[in-house]
Amino acid sequence: MTRINSKVVKLTSFVTSVLFALGVSLPALLMAVPASAAQLTSGATSIEMSSSTPSQTGVSYKVTFTPQTSEASGVVYVDFCSNSPLDGDTCNDAYTGVPNVSSVAGPATTTAVTAGDSQVHTIKLTGQTLTSGTPFTATFTGIVNPTTAGSFYARIYTGASGYTYTPAATNGGTPTSTGYADYGGVAMSTASVVSITARVMPTLTFCVSSGTGANGATNPITSNCGGTVAPNITIGHGSQDVLSSSQVDTYSVFSQLSTNATAGAVIRADINNSGTNTCGGLLLTGAAACSAGNYIPPVNNGNAAGGTITAGTAAFGLSVANGTGGTGTVSAFGCYTSAAYCMDTTANTGVTSTFGSEVASSTGPVNNVNNQYTFGATVSNTTPAGIYTANMSLIATGTF
Amino acid sequence: MSRRWLKLLKKFSLLALVIALVVALAVPSLTAAYTSLSQTSLTLSDNNASDTASYDFKFTLGDASSSLGSIEFQFCSNSALITDPCDAPAGFSATSATLATQAGATGFTISPLSTANNIILSRVPASPASANLEYLFNNVTNPSAAGSDYVRVQTFPTSDASGTNTNQGGLAFAILSQVQVQAQVPPYITFCAAVTISGFNCANAQGNYVDFGELSSRTTAFATQQLLVQTNAKSGYNITVNGQTMVSGNNAIQPLNSGGSSSPGTSQFGLNLVNNQSPAVGATPAGPGVGQASSGYGQPNIFRFNSGEVVASAAQASDSRLFTVSYIVNIPPGQAPGIYVATMTYVATGNF
């Protein structure tokens, strides 16, 4: 007997631990039964609550038991008490410790039984077929949980169709259960809500790399910004990598963006961080500012519409491709999406403004999305000889 | 039997109760007490490591009803979460930051409680005029290392960022290298001299021998040749003429060293690069390029020759420019007979 009890206790503890981890109420596991009366099958009786939150309304209680006595049109009583599940004990029925079943609904015919006081804590179900050894289940809805966290009990009685169970008339009174066929007691518990908080940190990973291969057309960036090459590029052709008026030369860089910003991110290009490159073009080395004869101008003179770069007409521009790879979309924006080139120098919104020109964007989170940025340039016959440079920042801004 | 079951049930009930109480007491409330910011963003004017940049913060208050007295912007390299320790980003400094603009809730100044990685805006507490706020800071020094960094933003009802915040949020931003674009334009100068050059193309240059024919003391002998030049020299080009006057043995025709008009019957050799009427010879410079005849060689009907002098020049890079050189020769009646020859060499020098 002791051994059996130990096993039962251990099982009880284990199940309790599991169910608390899951945040559900404790099912009924074990009950005491009078040795002199018929008993519901031990280990098969439970009341499962859809919520264990104190004061929760609209809760469903699923009552399951296996009767020992068969009844063709049996009646089932479920009486909730806060102090004891035992038949014959007094019953404390304040709503702090028992559920309010005044609005209970369930299988036909379910009613709430009122006693002498205002507390309604007893459910009656009639017309049920109860078969000995066969599990019986009834789900009752519309129940309001006790208002206080803690354990409470249910006394389950079955009987013939004429059986009447009378709940306690007062708080702490003794119910009248004489004449039942089967009886069983169940323990339940309400508990404070377990709040689970998981923190997700805002993230934004953004990198830029020179392309590799001919004209930098190959993207070397691997996942999570691996494999990047310093974005120092030279536009030109031939063994000396020079510009000429006979052709348009190009070179590409690539970016990769990952962010969990819920409203996505914007990528901007800024060419005037130093305050020197106010024209948005390629500046002759040593030039303190853009002036005639010392820069290769932005395509279409920096017009927001962009344009075509034609060999022999000095121009410098940028074209952005839509994102590839990864998950999510980073789309080229505005004049940079066209097949031609752009280097918008519009005041306040262009590449020479404080925060640069928007060149690409996403509308939601993205992961490892790559974009290609192709720089194009050519010179005229009168473009002064020399080395021209421009430093461009690609800046990603996430909106979290 | 029943007593054992009763004892077992009581133990179970007690255990359940204890567990419930333990859960209730041991597990602190994990629900957040703050209200979250939304639409939170930080736009940098420059994301190059260690550069000085402008930082533009925008965010929407979740709780716009509470009094607002201070806003804290804490910059960290490790986490955007307020509950985590904050490691200041290496090299980052907001010590010299200035508040350039503010919107939504205004009247703030940078509190003296601010530190290198913690900007606190302070004002007399008041309800915010709007839930949508924006603050632009200038003169912020970027972190010195590429990578992701974070900002924790909190609002407080107090004016010194003390006490419980009313709103909080976090965001991430990235520092990385600039794209450095370089292009080289090699220097070039295209120059040719010939009797004729058509189409502004040296490939069409023809002839290198000018024949004045038989000289006479009664008329001026004249002839032309052409020079074509093109260069991307930033400061343009100079073309010089090199050679000697026309000679035959020991007999020479006098060069017009000081310049002068054509005078038949006198010993003269000279040239210019313009259109003339007396005699009718020459043409003005032509072509899409720039450049003019130099002083001494650019006045119609005035001819000059000194070896080594600049005959044409431009002050900037020039597309194709075609010059027509006009030569005149006059001889006196007693000029010794012979074949008089002069070899002219023109040199174009680009000023890169």
Encode pLDDT of B290-345 as tens digits.
Answer: 999 999 999 999 999 999 999 999 999 999 999 999 999 999 999 999 999 999 99
Assess if residue B9 is contained within a domain. Answer: no
Angle made by CA atoms A36, A39, A45, in degrees to the nearest 5: 150
The mean of the pLDDT values for chain B is 91
Percent of chain A with pLDDT over 90: 77
Residues B222 and B322 in one domain: yes
* CATH number of the domain within which B285 lies: 2.60.40
pLDDT of residue B262: 97
Contact A395 B44 (CB under 8 A): yes
Residues B241 and B150 in one domain: no
Q: How many CB atoms lie within 10 A of CB A43?
A: 12
At position B188, the amino acid (one-letter code) is Y
> With contacts defined as CB-CB under 8 Å, which chain B residues touch A293?
234, 316-317
Cβ within 8 Å of residue A239, ≥6 positions away? none
At position B226, the amino acid (one-letter code) is Q
Residues B101 and B160 in one domain: yes
Residue A47 tokens, joined: 């009341």
Assess if residue B10 is contained within a domain. Answer: no
Q: Which residue has better confidence, A59 or A339?
A: A59
- Examine the pLDDT at B32 and tell me if it is beyond 60: no
- Examine the pLDDT at A335 and tell me if it is beyond 60: yes
Q: Is B234 within 8 Å of A385 (Cβ atoms)?
A: yes
| Interval B92-107 mean pLDDT | 98
pLDDT of residue B285: 97
- Examine the pLDDT at B37 and tell me if it is beyond 90: yes
Decide which of B127, B146, B175 is a domain's last residue: B175
Query: Where in the sequence is the domain holding B273, given as residue range(s)?
Result: 189-350
Percent of chain A with pLDDT over 70: 90
Contact A389 B234 (CB under 8 A): no
Residues B332 and B195 in one domain: yes
DSSP for residue A37: S
CA distance A396 to A101: 58
Residues B205 and B333 in one domain: yes
Decide which of B143, B175, B207 is a domain's last residue: B175
List of E strands, A115-211: 122-130, 136-143, 150-159, 182-190, 204-210
Q: Strand pairing of B118-126 and B109-110?
A: antiparallel
Residues B157 and B204 in one domain: no
- Smallest CA-to-CA distance from B135 within B121, B148, B124, B149 is with B121
pTM of the model: 0.74
Q: Is B193 within 8 Å of B307 (Cβ atoms)?
A: no
> With contacts defined as CB-CB under 8 Å, which chain B residues touch A388?
182-185
Residues B111 and B219 in one domain: no
- All domains of chain A in start order, with CATH: 2-190 (2.60.40), 204-398 (no CATH)
Assess if residue B2 is contained within a domain. Answer: no
Q: Tell me: the pLDDT tens digits for B145-203?
A: 999 999 999 999 999 999 999 999 999 999 999 999 999 999 999 999 999 999 999 99
Q: Chain B residue closest to A27 (CA)?
A: B16
Residues B152 and B231 in one domain: no
- Examine the pLDDT at B351 and tell me if it is beyond 70: yes
Residues B40 and B107 in one domain: yes
CA distance B19 to A25: 12
- Examine the pLDDT at A366 and tell me if it is beyond 70: yes
- Examine the pLDDT at A362 and tell me if it is beyond 70: yes
Contact B183 A30 (CB under 8 A): no
Assess if residue B181 is contained within a domain. Answer: no
CA distance A269 to A26: 60
Assess if residue B21 is contained within a domain. Answer: no
Residues B346 and B207 in one domain: yes
Length of chain B: 352
- The size of the A-B interface in CB pairs under 8 A is 258
- Smallest CA-to-CA distance from B177 within A228, A340, A165, A166 is with A228
Assess if residue B83 is contained within a domain. Answer: yes
pLDDT of residue A196: 82
At position A54, the amino acid (one-letter code) is P
Q: Which of A81-90, A285-294, A358-367 has the lowest mean pLDDT?
A: A285-294
> With contacts defined as CB-CB under 8 Å, which chain B residues touch A294?
234
> With contacts defined as CB-CB under 8 Å, which chain A residues touch B13?
151, 153, 187
Q: Strand pairing of B251-252 and A136-143?
A: unpaired
pLDDT of residue B333: 96
> In which element (H, E) is residue A8 found?
helix A2-22
Assess if residue B184 is contained within a domain. Answer: no
Contact A394 B318 (CB under 8 A): no
Contact B19 A20 (CB under 8 A): yes
Angle made by CA atoms A86, A90, A91, in degrees to the nearest 5: 90
- Examine the pLDDT at A92 and tell me if it is beyond 90: yes
- 3-state SS string over B289-349? CCCEECCCCCCCCCEECCCCCEEEEECCCEEEEEEEEEEEEECCCCCCCCCCECCEEEEEE
Residues B70 and B146 in one domain: yes
Q: Tell me: the pLDDT tens digits for A188-203?
A: 888 877 778 788 889 9
Question: Would you call B292 exposed, middle or buried from its count of C-beta atoms within 10 A (0-12, 13-18, 19+)?
Answer: middle
CA distance B241 to B260: 18
Residues B339 and B198 in one domain: yes
Of B9, B44, B80, the CB nearest to A32: B9
Q: How far is B302 from chain A (nearest CA, A)?
A: 32
Q: How many CB atoms lie within 10 A of CB A172?
A: 14
CA distance B109 to B94: 14
- Examine the pLDDT at B34 and tell me if it is beyond 80: no
Q: Tell me: the pLDDT tens digits for A142-182?
A: 999 999 988 999 999 999 999 999 999 899 999 999 999 99
List of E strands, B78-220: 98-103, 109-110, 118-126, 132-141, 147-156, 167-175, 179-185, 189-194, 196-197, 205-206
B25: three-class secondary structure by DSSP: helix
Residue A180 tokens, joined: 């039942």
Decide which of B175, B200, B217 is a domain's last residue: B175
pLDDT of residue A6: 34
Question: Would you call A393 exposed, middle or buried from its count of C-beta atoms within 10 A (0-12, 13-18, 19+)?
Answer: buried
Assess if residue B58 is contained within a domain. Answer: yes
Contact B185 A197 (CB under 8 A): no
CA distance B288 to B329: 31
Q: Is A69 within 8 Å of A163 (Cβ atoms)?
A: no
Longest dimension (CA), chain B: 162
* CATH number of the domain within which B39 lies: 2.60.40.3490
What's the number of domains chain B is made of?
2
For residue A41, what pLDDT band results from cuts at 50, 70 and 90? Answer: confident
